[in-house]
Amino acid sequence: MIFNPLETHQEGTEKTYEVVVRPIVVENRITSKKTLPDSSDSKYEAFHPGELWLDDQGQHINAHGGGILFYEGKYYWFGEHKSANTSRALVGVRCYSSKDLYNWKNEGIALSVEKNDTLSPITLGCTIERPKVIFNKKTKKFIMYFHLELKGQGYSAAQVGIATSNTITGPYAFVKSLRPNKGEWPMNMTESQRKFKATPEDFDKWWTPEWMLAIKDGLFVRRDLKTGQMSRDMTLFVDEDDKAYHIYSSEENLTIHIAELTDDYLNYTGKYVRIFPGGHNEAPALFKKEGKYYLITSGCTGWNPNAARSAVASSVWGPWVPIGNPCRGEKSEFTFESQSTYILPVFGDESTFIFMADRWNPKCHIDGRYVWLSINFENSKPLIEWKKEWKLKD
């Protein structure tokens, strides 16, 4: 695609782009009727992975790195509102609703960046990624967690942000941002690992065998014990007993942590485990099927796709057993040019899970596409195959 810079957009220092060939980006929105099935009356009747996906207003859905909550008969999709030429948050988290998962209504901005308060952690120009919303049955509140990077600090803050609302579509009120599990040891770090004296400064170079051993022994967990553990790519998972977990890339993206939340879902209980220390996993997505927990992640190559990985466990605390790349077929070594964000259990059909992934477009972030594919099972392992077009009952 060819993009022509047009003019400076009013939001921050954004530039607006016009796309010379379709899709068309106007005022930071993308429109094109081209991908709608020819015979349709503007209604989708199938998924079209990787294509433009228009909402009820004819705009490409702007909910990247997203997740879905099913509530009172409708699906609600929350995701990063991206702009054309920056991935920084100039708007916030957007919400869409749907009854059939194909056709989505724009429900507006669920969480807005702070336009006037430059001291707020979610001030305009911060980075808000991978938002997920869960419902707390006891408090009747909707709770949003997201990866937060502070304005002007690149990806060094590595925090989680928490916001709540009494209504599903928002507006969500920002509660706090933090690094999880300050002062707490992971349950699966041994007494001797907790006492090791090595510090990151003892190593001149990363990636040496000695350094990797030290990582596995919790070098960065010890470094960050007092401040809380780093938290970047993330998801949330609510189990059948209503316990909720925050799953995030920690330790400089080297190790996944799974941390239990308190009953109100607003704090950490201090119980957490490290998964695949030094395994360099990002983009975690977790689901449960017939009593087993499955985790799908990616490797760490920024916006570029890589091969997905999967793992299975009988308890959320592990042990987690790696079971390989769940994708099969052409481009499966690049997750069909996408990166996982969420796995949606389709309500009413306990055997249908949708693998939701992002096909990022760092040249024009707003034009990032969504790759949704069904998860099948073969030999008790998740299997994801490419489909150009598919329906829930296929």
Hey, how many other C-beta atoms are within 10 angstroms of the C-beta on 139?
A: 14
- Phi/psi for 221 (5° steps) reads -65, -45
Q: Which is nearer to ligand GAL, 310 or 339 (CB)?
A: 339
Any contact of residue 217 with ligand GAL (CB under 6 A)? Answer: no
CB of 129 to ligand GAL, least distance (A): 5
- What's the rounded Cα separation, in Å, for the pair 298 and 294? 14
User: Residue 60 or 130: which CB sits closer to ligand GAL?
Assistant: 130
Contacts of residue 353, Cβ cutoff 8 Å, sequence gap at least 6: 287, 289, 343, 344, 345, 346, 374, 375, 382
Q: Smallest distance from the beta carbon of 368 to ligand GAL, in angstroms?
A: 10
Rounded to whole angstroms, the Cα distance separating 311 from 293 reads 8
Residue type, 237: F
Residue 232 Cβ vs ligand GAL, minimum distance, rounded to whole Å: 7
| Residues 321-360: x where in contact with ligand GAL by CB under 6 A, - otherwise, as a string | ------------------x---------------------
193 or 249: CB nearest ligand GAL: 249
In whole angstroms, give the CA distance from residue 352 to residue 346.
Answer: 6
| Interacting residue with ligand GAL among 129, 252, 260, 367 (CB under 6 A) | 129
Q: Of the two residues 65 and 318, which places its CB atom closer to ligand GAL in the complex?
A: 65
Q: Site size for ligand GAL, by CB under 6 A?
A: 10
The Cα angle at residue 227 between residues 86 and 78, in degrees rounded to 5: 40
Exposure string (b/e) for 22-56, b if CB count within 10 Å is 16 or more?
A: ebebeebbbbbeeebeeeeeeebeebbbbbbbbbe
Which of residues 164 and 235 has its CB atom nearest to ligand GAL in the complex? 235
Nearest-angstrom CA–CA distance, 150 and 147: 10
Phi first, then psi: what are they for 11, rounded to 5°?
Answer: -80, 110
SS (H, E, C) 68-132: EEEECCEEEEEEECCCCCCCCCCCEEEEEEECCCCCCEEEEEEEECECCCCCCCCECCCEEEEEE
Using the rule CB under 6 A, which residue among 70, 303, 377, 390 binds ligand GAL?
303
Angle at 76 between CA 70 and CA 79, to 5 degrees: 130
Tokens 């598919």 sit on residue: 390
Provide the minimum distance between the beta carbon of 340 and ligand GAL in the complex, in angstroms, as a whole number.
9
Measured from the CB atom, the residue of 254 and 283 that comes closer to ligand GAL is 283
Smallest distance from the beta carbon of 283 to ligand GAL, in angstroms? 5
| Least distance CB 230 / ligand GAL (angstroms) | 13
130 touches ligand GAL by CB under 6 A: yes
Which amino acid is it at 318? G
Task: Please tell me the chain's helix, strand, coil percentages from 3-state DSSP, rounded to the nearest 5.
Answer: 5, 45, 50
Nearer to ligand GAL, 283 or 286 (CB): 283
302, 319, 324, 329: residue in contact with ligand GAL (rule CB under 6 A): 302
Cβ proximity to ligand GAL, 170 vs 368, nearer residue: 368
Paired residues of 249 in beta bridges: 256
Q: How far is the CB of 90 from ligand GAL (least distance, A)?
A: 16
Report, in Å, the least distance between residue 364 CB and ligand GAL: 15
The span of 44-52, 164-172, 298-306, 349-357 binding ligand GAL (CB under 6 A) equals 298-306
Q: Which residue is nearest to ligand GAL (CB)?
A: 302
CB 27 within 8 A of CB 62: no
Binding segment toward ligand GAL, per CB under 6 A, in 108-116, 235-243, 300-308, 380-388? 300-308
Residue ranges in 277-296 that form contacts with ligand GAL under rule CB under 6 A: 282-283
Site for ligand GAL in 150-209 (CB under 6 A): none
Q: What residues from 38 to 77 belong to the interface with ligand GAL (CB under 6 A)? A: 65
SS3 category, 181? coil
Q: x/- binding map, residues 222-261, to ligand GAL, per CB under 6 A? A: -----------x----------------------------
Whether residue 231 contacts residue 147, with contact meaning beta carbons closer than 8 Å, is answered with yes
Residue ranges that bind ligand GAL, judged by CB under 6 A: 65, 129-130, 233, 282-283, 300, 302-303, 339
